[in-house]
Chains A and B, each alone.
Chain A
Amino acid sequence: MKKFTMLPLAALVVSSFAMADDIKVFKFSEDGTPTTFDPVQSGTTYANTVTTAVYDTLYEYKYLKSPFELKPNLAVDMPQVSEDGLTYTIKLKQGVKFIDDPAFEGGKGREVTADDFVYSIKRHFDVKNRSQGSWLWAGKIVGLDAWKDAGSDYAKEIEGLKALDRYTVQIKLVKPFPQLTYTLAMGYSGVVPVEAVEKYGRELSIHPVGSGPFKLVSHNSTKTVLEKNPDYRQETFDLAGAGYNEEMHGFTGIASLDGKQLPIVDRVELNWIKQASARWNSFSKGSEIVNTTLQNEQMDEVLASKHPVKLKPEYAEQFNFRVNPEAGLVYNFFNFDDEYFGYSDDPKTNAQNKALRCAIVKSFDWPQRISRFYLGIGEAYPGFIVPGTDGFDPNMDDSSITQDLAGAKKLLKEYGWNKQNLPVIYYPGTASTRNKQFFEQFRGNLTKIGYPKNKIKQKTFATFGDFNRDVKNSKTQLIPMGWGLDYPDAENTLQLFYGPNRSPGSNSANYNNPEFNKLYEQASVMQPSPERTALYQKMNQMVVDDCVGIGGYSRTRIRMWHKNAIMWPQRDVMGNYLKYVDIKS
């Protein structure tokens, strides 16, 4: 009899274990920490990862497609664009709902409408929201800037940003902006309900209320937990449509996801682990995080070879990996406001300054930089157009990234530079061991062309914010920085040299070449075409010829993940990828 009385209890215990097994938890990790999930401030890849998981954007990138390609997300279809390229009409899916939240009447999430999208973009132009994304649309949408200047009254309509009906958005542009659709796939354009903004105010940053595949359960400085949005629209994984290629993706097991309801896992735990040793220990122990990016510290331990990248057999047995070039680049620009690096009205000084810039470019040793700091993989390329974007020319002359000490010395001598008149150069950066090493390498190379060692100094800043302040105020001679692509179009990096974008804008080099500016204005309104590609290449050659900076190089990352995890860890540009990950129980 006792046996039978115990039976229900045993069944309960067993079923609870079974239920626990049914819950798929994906323990993801990244090497930085997001601070806010408000779309207007989702300026980092970490914030963007979560923002695009909890909020809906009109468009998104095809998960596996290379080069990047957009597809509709909240939108029904790709936008209808008028002949002149100035009016975009976008239909939204019907029946999509925000998650249930106390912000709504009765706590039930209401339907997402075109008004919500309009409201969400308007929020970027309300100064109190400290938008980091408003620059994407500033000066481009009819009436938006005037609306901001008039005090951002949400009740007032904007001519260029309208909800034509409950499910139709119309955007009118001041001039063609072919990159507009890309911006509508960024976390910045996440659709936010007004009720949540009114209820949570500034704390909306940690209380996201969206209609995305996940909802936020908890967040702190070390971990963010997302759970599947139970009311997420019926959406299944279309393997072919996502750009699946058996040869490239076959090893990942992604093919088994075809036709599955999205999101696939029930819960994602995002662990924000900045310390390389802790991240590696957590990853390699097997029961914690399932993915990591290989760091220099573990490289010798894990890799059997770098060219091609191969893991040692014991690691290859346990982990999958992918060699992944970043969608962005690192560079060192010269500041053209500086009297020794910039333009001068005096042709002789102008030529001397250019010679100095070019000599420094020639002194730089890219293979050495890559070997010491970037796992020894990947290759530098001439110019500043990121590989994989329109305009990148793999056959471009590579003399701008080849160390040429004799050429540099000759150039200095020819233009009258000597140990006495060479200026003191301050290499800026935040106070860290890595920056100190960057500086030492930079100085080491310069001394090889005869630059006096005592004339190359380091200028350190306590934080990146402080360094950025001096960059934005044009107070540094050099700008060693990185730039992650906002969208996969060379226009996004070529804008770094557009004169009107000068400091505090993105043109930190303060480069101002009227010919370049003219070409940029011409190309930036063109739809993709061979003519536009030719213009991009011409502009790229111009900045190389002018020795605007040392570059470029796109860091190559080795992403690793456990074999029981199904993923294709691509974080740059894309966003909204957590709905495609899976974990085998």
Chain B
Amino acid sequence: MEILKHCFRKLIYSIPLLFGVTLISFVLMVYFGPDKTYDLLGRNPTIEEINEIRHQLGYDRPFFVRYFEYVKEVLVFDFGYSDSTGEQVTSILAKTIPVSIALQLPGFILGNVLGVLLALFAAMHRSSWLDKMIMSSSVVGMSISYLIVIIATQLIFCSSYGLNLFPVYGWEVNSLPDYLYYITVPTISSVFVALGYNTRFYRAVIVEETTRDHVRTAKAFGHSANTIIFKHVLRNALVPIVTRIVFSIPFVIVGGALLLESYFGIPGVGLTAYDAITTGDLPVLKAIIVLTTLLFIVVVSLVDVLYRAVDPRISLK
């Protein structure tokens, strides 16, 4: 009950946030966003035709009228039709979001699980050559551009210049083997990039925890290394770990992996968002901004509940 009340309270508090985000993003879109009119024109337009398209896009209406319409769209979650494709925005999102989740999830989970494990291993062997090797590998992973990683993994695993085991391009997922076939290389790329950041962050958190008094006490009591690491260190380090993981969820779902999607031909929401930004497809862009904001609101509510689960001393009030 307390949790439900907390979530409800958070949702109420989030309303101003939603308004703030929509207002700021709308100001940016209207005053600094691309002008879609000139993408939709034919080759020999007249001034009347230009004005007609601007009218249809709503560019000629006062700012606040347009903003209130946007708010209305948010309330009913109906963003109309894409200005580029003519498809209903909700249907675009319904098709592309699951693809992005399916694409990103394995890399997200593996990147975090492996990150925590490597960080634990490095922390347990602090200052040893193993620790140094893991940390320097992390720095290398962090330093190489995502684009280079994608091109390199594509060459190694997918092309005739390398192993030629996986597809370069496409997304024909109808079964589990298909799924594994299509996501393996994108997952390798995203894990490679995420692992460096994750391992360094988690190691720092874990090392910090190992210097605490209760860990020293546990050692004094003669607990085994595993008990100390998993029961006393990892458990107490979970709050920052959970924070990092949970706050990256909206990015995984909506932010999408634009580079992965465009280089591997995967029709996800990242690619859709990028196209909407570059072409000024406001209906799609507005929906994606709202969705991201809503996800952050859910995540913020969820993270408090998770804190409580990992550390009962934390109050929800």
Q: Is the CB of B56 within 8 A of A128?
A: yes
Q: Is the CB of A222 within 8 A of B168?
A: no
A236 contact set on B, CB distance < 8 A? none
B95 contact set on A, CB distance < 8 A? 220
Binds A, one of B45-53, B100-108, B191-199, B219-227: B45-53
B86 contact set on A, CB distance < 8 A? 36, 38, 202-206
Of A130, A203, A275, which is within 8 A of B53 by CB? A130
Query: Counting CB contacts under 8 A, is A465 at the interface?
Result: yes
Query: Counting CB contacts under 8 A, is A464 at the interface?
Result: yes
Known contacts A472-B38, A472-B50: A222-B155 contact under CB 8 Å: no
Query: Counting CB contacts under 8 A, is A460 at the interface?
Result: no
Bound complex: CA of A284 vs CA of B34, how far in Å? 37
Bound complex: CA of A35 vs CA of B39, how far in Å? 11
Bound complex: CA of A206 vs CA of B47, how far in Å? 29
Within 8 A of A (CB), among B146-165: 151, 154-155, 158-161, 164
B97: min CB distance to chain A, Å: 13
B171 contact set on A, CB distance < 8 A? 222-223
B36 contact set on A, CB distance < 8 A? 465
Q: Is the CB of B34 within 8 A of A463?
A: yes
A274 contact set on B, CB distance < 8 A? 262
B275 contact set on A, CB distance < 8 A? 33, 221
Bound complex: CA of A215 vs CA of B90, how far in Å? 25
Of B160, B169, B279, which is within 8 A of A463 by CB? B279
Query: Counting CB contacts under 8 A, is A134 at the interface?
Result: yes
Bound complex: CA of A135 vs CA of B266, how far in Å? 36
Q: Is the CB of A469 within 8 A of B38?
A: yes
Most buried by B among A33, A277, A284, A289: A277
Q: Is the CB of B84 within 8 A of A133?
A: no
Query: Counting CB contacts under 8 A, is B143 at the interface?
Result: no
Query: Counting CB contacts under 8 A, is A131 at the interface?
Result: yes
Bound complex: CA of A38 vs CA of B84, how far in Å? 12
Query: Counting CB contacts under 8 A, is A273 at the interface?
Result: yes
Q: Is the CB of A132 within 8 A of B42?
A: yes
A132 contact set on B, CB distance < 8 A? 40-43
B224: min CB distance to chain A, Å: 50
Bound complex: CA of A506 vs CA of B275, how far in Å? 26
A43 contact set on B, CB distance < 8 A? 42-43
Q: A281-B155, A285-B168 are in contact. List 6 more A-B contacts (CB 8 A).
A: A43-B42, A128-B56, A132-B41, A221-B267, A462-B34, A504-B47
Some 12 contacts from A to B, beta carbons below 8 A apart, are A36-B86, A127-B52, A130-B40, A138-B46, A206-B86, A278-B263, A281-B158, A463-B34, A465-B36, A468-B41, A469-B37, A504-B41
Instruction: List the 3 closest pairs (A to B, CB-CB), nearest first.
Output: A205-B86, A220-B267, A135-B44
Query: Hey, which bits of chain B sit against chain A, CB under 8 A?
Result: 34-47, 49-50, 52-53, 56, 81, 84-88, 95-96, 151, 154-155, 158-161, 164, 167-171, 261-267, 271-272, 275, 278-280
